[in-house]
């Protein structure tokens, strides 16, 4: 039976998109409605669609679309997607390609398949997708279980992480959930961290403003302050059903000395647990290129998960080359 693509209106998506996403029971926070609205504020157009065969829905995808060259070229990005009940990667690709068939199209997917990543990669290759030559991430993450009691969390920590958490709890002056959420203050903290670590900024104030504006009360922001009330560490997380996801983290040199990053993450997990979060995605890790972040997250005591990573398809080799050149430039300039 042929695959139909049903496009939800913005009003329909606001009412029911997250229910569709939650129905696939996978930590696909980036396919959530609020993530799409965050990206809308940064110039992308969210397109939420359902894959159908007859009356049966077997897949869903939140596509972030940029239209170029007078509407004749479409760059379509699916962070965290598509979401499929069955590995029908070819049919999903063909349905999306038909929808954008009026001109040149570039599709990039990053499916959050966590139980059979290697098998999914083989299926993707056999379905006409190819690994993206330039990638925004390596597909590795760490999923932390919050289903047990807090004592169980502590028992999983490495000795060094547990020791640093205790030191942070003793030294951090104030740790609190911050309702102020001032994007400018958060960006200044991130600038301070980038300065002492010596890397190029990979987040802008506009991106932080879009995130705060889109997520609202579906984002928890925990900060640590020094004795003068200045923010020295911050971490934000959002959630969709039982799945939570890292959104933002930054620590100043002073916060690093007081081990504040350990305390704000711990407090954030406590807050999310109270809201029913059972699995927390600590975000991307890269042992080779960012060992500090890798060891911090890996110290929580959960194993790495290898997802298939980013895959692409295009009806224009020139367009594919151009997108990958842009990705290389972005990775080179943001670190």
Q: Which two tokens stand for residue 65?
A: 């679309």
Backbone phi and psi for residue 99, each to the nearest 5 degrees, phi listed first: -65, -35
pLDDT digits (tens, 9 = 90+) for 154-200: 999 999 999 999 999 988 778 999 888 898 988 888 888 888 776 66
* Assigned CATH topology for domain 4-139+307-334: Aminopeptidase (3.40.630)
In the chain, domain spans: 4-139+307-334, 142-306
- What gap in Å lies between CA 1 and CA 86, rounded to an integer? 15
Q: Which range (29-43, 66-80, 105-119, 164-178) has the least confidence?
A: 105-119
pLDDT digits (tens, 9 = 90+) for 57-76: 999 999 999 998 777 899 99
Residue 155 confidence (pLDDT): 92
Q: Higher-confidence residue: 220 or 103?
A: 220
* 142-306 under CATH 3.40.630.30, yes or no: yes
Check pLDDT > 60 for residue 333: no
Confidence of residue 332 (pLDDT cuts 50, 70, 90): low
Q: For residue 307, with 0-12 CB atoms within 10 Å meaning exposed, 13-18 middle and 19 or more buried, which class applies? A: buried
User: Whole-model pTM above 0.95?
Assistant: no
Q: Higher-confidence residue: 1 or 313?
A: 313
Give CA angle at 282 (278, 284), nearest 5°. Answer: 140
Confidence of residue 334 (pLDDT cuts 50, 70, 90): low
Q: Contact, 310 vs 131, CB < 8 A?
A: yes
Q: Which range (18-27, 107-116, 240-249) has the least confidence?
A: 107-116
- What gap in Å lies between CA 154 and CA 23, rounded to an integer? 31
């Amino acid at each position: 039976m042929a695959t139909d693509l049903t496009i939800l209106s913005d009003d329909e998506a606001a009412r029911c998109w997250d229910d569709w996403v939650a129905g696939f029971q996978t930590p696909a926070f980036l396919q959530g409605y609020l993530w799409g609205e965050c990206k809308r504020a940064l110039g992308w157009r969210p397109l939420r669609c359902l894959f159908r065969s007859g009356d049966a829905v077997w897949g869903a995808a939140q596509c972030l679309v940029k239209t170029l060259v007078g509407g004749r070229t479409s760059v379509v990005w699916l962070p965290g997607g598509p979401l499929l009940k069955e590995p029908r990667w070819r049919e999903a690709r063909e349905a999306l390609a038909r929808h954008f068939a009026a001109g040149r199209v570039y599709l990039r997917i990053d499916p959050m398949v966590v139980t059979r990543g290697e098998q999914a990669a083989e299926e993707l290759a056999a379905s006409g997708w190819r690994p993206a030559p330039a990638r925004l991430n390596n597909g590795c993450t760490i999923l932390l279980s919050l289903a047990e009691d807090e004592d169980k969390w502590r028992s999983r920590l490495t000795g060094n992480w547990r020791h640093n958490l205790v030191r942070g709890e003793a030294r951090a002056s104030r740790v609190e959930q911050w309702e102020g959420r001032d994007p400018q203050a958060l960006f200044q903290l991130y600038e301070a961290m980038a300065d002492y670590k010596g890397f190029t900024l990979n987040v802008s104030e506009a991106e932080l403003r879009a995130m705060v504006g889109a997520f609202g009360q579906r984002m928890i922001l925990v900060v640590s302050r020094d004795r003068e009330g200045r923010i020295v560490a911050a971490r934000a997380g959002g959630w969709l059903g039982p799945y939570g996801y890292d959104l933002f983290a930054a620590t100043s040199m002073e916060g690093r000395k007081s081990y504040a990053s350990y305390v704000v993450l711990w407090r954030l997990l406590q807050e999310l647990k109270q809201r029913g979060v059972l699995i927390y995605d600590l975000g991307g890790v890269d042992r080779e290129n960012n060992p500090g972040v890798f060891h911090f997250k890996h110290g929580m005591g959960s194993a790495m998960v290898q997802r298939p990573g980013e895959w692409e398809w295009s009806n224009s080799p020139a367009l594919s080359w151009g997108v990958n050149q842009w990705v290389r430039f972005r990775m080179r300039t943001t670190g």
